[in-house]
Amino acid sequence: MVALVILSLVALGYLELLHASHVLVARSREQAQAISYAAAGMERAKLELPKLDPKPTELLPGGFRREVVARHWRLGFALLTVSVLLPEGTRLELTRLVPEPPEPEPDTTPGVRSQEER
């Protein structure tokens, strides 16, 4: 009987350890997915510069939400912040200071009419 009690306590401890490691792996996967969403949002925001228009919150697979905020920081630089809300309510923020590309100038090649002139 004593051996059975000791064995059940050892098995219970092992099951608790197994459950805790399962929860830890699930959280790690969720955070890795959030980091992936944040990095993808940052790359897309860098491609969309110099437009700094506010963007609506994006709903992503798995219950994630992403918000991208871009604003002028100093002359020639923009501050990009990508926030990813995880399903359990925590927030991951990725902030980068990036150079703003120059505004494209209208084509003034002689003999070529712009879309506005047509």
pLDDT at 36 exceeding the cut of 90: yes
pTM: 0.72
**Average pLDDT value for residue range 100-106:** 71
For 77, list phi and psi in degrees, rounded to 5.
-130, 150
Give the per-residue pLDDT at 75.
86
For the chain, how big is the Rg over CA atoms in Å?
25
